[in-house]
Chains A and B, each alone.
Chain A
Amino acid sequence: MILEALSYGFMQKALIAGIAVGLICSFMGTFLVLRRYSLFGDGIAHVAFGGISVGLFLGVFPLWTAFIVSIFGGLGLQKLRQSTKISGDSAVAVVLVSGLAVGVILVSSSGGFSVDLFSFLFGSILLISQEDTIMILALSAGIIATLTILQKQFLHLTFNEEQAKLAGMRTTLLNYAFVVLASITVVTSMRLVGILLISALIVIPNITAMQFGKGFKKTVFISMSISVISVVSGILVSYFLNVAPSGTIVVIAVGILVGTLLLKSTGLLGKIDIKNPSKLTHNS
């Protein structure tokens, strides 16, 4: 039955794009969650909604306008945090509602909600084209490569910004690079789970992975694994049950988090050896 599902072209594209998005969201999400930018994804996705509306209003490919507007939104958010005393969560709220407001105005003046807009709001992974898949793959490869190259700098910046500055890092520039990369990640991933659920993919696999109490590399690896498992199983389950894939992916990710928390509360989690998950170690 699974093989039959996998034989369809739309399923193959959905799974390939889904895995790529799962990987970038969880990798980028590790830094976002640790920097207390958990709702950054939500903020930028709503700005992207404004960007999509601009595209639909002007008759341009909406994803491009979403990218441009979101990157400016991310930079604006960073500037707001740096140059004023507005706290991170309030800055996200300002940027979020601004994007949404612009979007609503443009949507109403161009004749209301269209199918296109709905697919951005709730995700449309099963409907993506070959061009979209290639674009998601290319952007994901770029994001993963950049994150891999800059991971030491981002880790230091995330751990303690002042210490990173004293180590000679150009923290202001790195902070801007960080928000631009995060904005591109959010917009690239929107097709999978939609604007309204994007934060789930950024936050949930990471907080689950952090329950394992491991070092940085292992935590990123666990988070990526949980993300990919949620996406793949979510797409397959949604196909068989004929329900929305975005919601299914998020419900599975939440399920894994709840399961992990239960295991942790019973004391079993600390005993699982990550290198050898089937064995329980006796020294802890």
Chain B
Amino acid sequence: MSVTNVLDVKDLTVNYDNLPAVDNISFDVKQGDCLGIIGPNGAGKTTLFRAILGLQPYSGNIKLFGYEDSKYDSIVPLIGYVPQKVTFEPNFPATVYDVVSMGLISDKRIVQGVKLIQQCDCCWNRIYQSIEKNDDKITQALHTVGLESLRNRRIGELSGGELQRVFIAKALVKDPLLLILDEPVASVDVESQTKFYNVIKTINEQNNITIIWSSHDLDAISKYANRVACMNKKIFFHGEKEKFFSDKELLKMYTESSMQMHMHNHEH
């Protein structure tokens, strides 16, 4: 039986005003991967994620679980996506519990998506337990991210790190098949970052959820990812983490392109 990848990206290009933000990239993600996408600011990481989720027009080919975008309506709800920043009214009258419960999707939707994925030739053996009680699911998700004690706290009163964990819990509560995290620790202090990465590791290893996350922190990628994609509009490397970190040329190229981008950003 052939194995279907969780994600296949082929010749993907996204242009803003005729300038490429993502330039003809191809890579794949296998089930159980924890893929760290590394690249400087403006490298097109967020644009890539938005294209994968069907929020951004593109040219090229993207397949999720072997399916192209015509089936997105059924598959995207099974993906947990945590954007770099979620904007909401500061006085929004919602508790941590309220926000996490928004992540629950209707059983009908889950069944549609799972049926589709199981029909395809993918390695998915999972039988969906969708009848679990919603409250238990929310409690479990809050436990995974270590926020049980804050369940009744209003979201406007949380710190940046706590908020990020709330949104991870919101993404986790629907038992996602794939979790996409866009620079998840960008606004989080160092101590919370370690906690956060440990949560990611647990989700990937114990819950067997495929994860794609972006960062420009080489250290974190070397510690917590098992595969690496290095991009700056184009993909310079895609493969095993060890290979990336043992290749001095690649590391040098990444650091230089990162520096150039940094200087470019400062000039503007």
Interface on A for B, CB 8 Å cutoff? 30, 34, 152, 155-156, 159-160, 162-168, 209-210, 213-219
Residues of the A chain whose Cβ atoms lie less than 8 Å from the Cβ of B53: 166
Query: Is B77's CB under 8 angstroms from A168's CB?
Result: yes
Given contacts A160-B88, A163-B102, whether A168 and B76 have CB atoms under 8 Å apart is yes
Query: B108 — nearest CB in chain A belongs to which residue?
Result: A168
Query: Is A214's CB under 8 angstroms from B73's CB?
Result: no
What's the least CB distance linking B175 to chain A, in Å? Answer: 13
Q: A166-B53, A216-B93 are in contact. List 17 more A-B contacts (CB 8 A).
A: A34-B92, A152-B102, A159-B92, A159-B99, A160-B87, A162-B55, A163-B81, A164-B102, A167-B105, A168-B106, A168-B109, A210-B91, A213-B93, A214-B93, A215-B98, A216-B94, A216-B95
Residues of the A chain whose Cβ atoms lie less than 8 Å from the Cβ of B55: 162, 165-166
- Bound-state CA distance A165–B83 (Å) is 14
Query: Is A215's CB under 8 angstroms from B154's CB?
Result: yes
- Contact among B86, B152, B154, B157 with A163 in the assembled complex (CB-CB below 8 Å): B86
Q: B79 at the A/B interface (Cβ < 8 Å)? A: yes
Q: B254 at the A/B interface (Cβ < 8 Å)? A: no
Query: Is A167's CB under 8 angstroms from B77's CB?
Result: yes
Residues of the A chain whose Cβ atoms lie less than 8 Å from the Cβ of B92: 34, 159
What's the least CB distance linking B16 to chain A, in Å? Answer: 17
- Bound-state CA distance A156–B86 (Å) is 13
- Bound-state CA distance A217–B83 (Å) is 26
Query: A30 — nearest CB in chain B belongs to which residue?
Result: B93
Query: Is A155's CB under 8 angstroms from B94's CB?
Result: yes
- Most chain A C-beta atoms within 10 Å of own C-beta, residue among B93, B94, B174: B93
Query: B77 — nearest CB in chain A belongs to which residue?
Result: A168
Residues of the B chain whose Cβ atoms lie less than 8 Å from the Cβ of A167: 77, 102-103, 105, 174
**13 pairs from A and B in contact (CB 8 Å cutoff):** A152-B101, A156-B102, A159-B99, A159-B102, A163-B102, A165-B55, A167-B174, A168-B106, A168-B109, A209-B93, A215-B97, A215-B154, A217-B98
Given contacts A159-B94, A160-B88, A166-B53, whether A215 and B152 have CB atoms under 8 Å apart is yes
Query: A159 — nearest CB in chain B belongs to which residue?
Result: B88
Instruction: Kindly count the residue-residue contacts between A and B in the assembled complex, taking CB atoms under 8 Å apart.
Output: 67
Given contacts A34-B89, A166-B53, A166-B81, whether A215 and B95 have CB atoms under 8 Å apart is yes
Interface on B for A, CB 8 Å cutoff? 53, 55, 73-74, 76-77, 79, 81, 83, 86-89, 91-95, 97-99, 101-103, 105-106, 109, 152, 154, 156-157, 174
Query: Is B88's CB under 8 angstroms from A155's CB?
Result: no
Determine chain A's interface SS by DSSP, over half rule.
Answer: helix
Residues of the A chain whose Cβ atoms lie less than 8 Å from the Cβ of B105: 167-168
Given contacts A34-B92, A162-B55, A167-B77, whether A216 and B98 have CB atoms under 8 Å apart is yes
- Bound-state CA distance A168–B106 (Å) is 9
What's the least CB distance linking A181 to chain B, in Å? Answer: 20
- Bound-state CA distance A213–B153 (Å) is 10
Residues of the A chain whose Cβ atoms lie less than 8 Å from the Cβ of B86: 160, 163
- Bound-state CA distance A217–B93 (Å) is 9
Query: Is A215's CB under 8 angstroms from B88's CB?
Result: no
- Most chain B C-beta atoms within 10 Å of own C-beta, residue among A34, A162, A166, A210: A166
- Bound-state CA distance A152–B170 (Å) is 14
- Bound-state CA distance A164–B170 (Å) is 12
- Bound-state CA distance A159–B156 (Å) is 12
3 nearest interchain CB pairs?
Answer: A168-B77, A219-B93, A215-B95
- Bound-state CA distance A19–B240 (Å) is 65
Query: Is B76's CB under 8 angstroms from A166's CB?
Result: yes
What's the least CB distance linking B189 to chain A, in Å? Answer: 24
Query: A165 — nearest CB in chain B belongs to which residue?
Result: B55
Query: B101 — nearest CB in chain A belongs to which residue?
Result: A152
What's the least CB distance linking A218 to chain B, in Å? Answer: 8
- Most chain A C-beta atoms within 10 Å of own C-beta, residue among B53, B73, B91: B91
Residues of the A chain whose Cβ atoms lie less than 8 Å from the Cβ of B83: 162
What's the least CB distance linking A132 to chain B, in Å? Answer: 33
What's the least CB distance linking A153 to chain B, in Å? Answer: 9
Query: Is A155's CB under 8 angstroms from B95's CB?
Result: no
Residues of the A chain whose Cβ atoms lie less than 8 Å from the Cβ of B73: 168
- Bound-state CA distance A238–B55 (Å) is 54
What's the least CB distance linking A159 to chain B, in Å? Answer: 6
What's the least CB distance linking A280 to chain B, in Å? Answer: 18
Residues of the A chain whose Cβ atoms lie less than 8 Å from the Cβ of B88: 159-160
Query: Is B91's CB under 8 angstroms from A166's CB?
Result: no
Query: Is A215's CB under 8 angstroms from B94's CB?
Result: yes
Residues of the A chain whose Cβ atoms lie less than 8 Å from the Cβ of B174: 167
Query: Is B102's CB under 8 angstroms from A166's CB?
Result: no
Query: Is B98's CB under 8 angstroms from A155's CB?
Result: yes
- Contact among A162, A166, A209 with B77 in the assembled complex (CB-CB below 8 Å): A166
What's the least CB distance linking B48 to chain A, in Å? Answer: 16
- Bound-state CA distance A228–B167 (Å) is 36
Query: B78 — nearest CB in chain A belongs to which residue?
Result: A168
Query: A163 — nearest CB in chain B belongs to which residue?
Result: B86
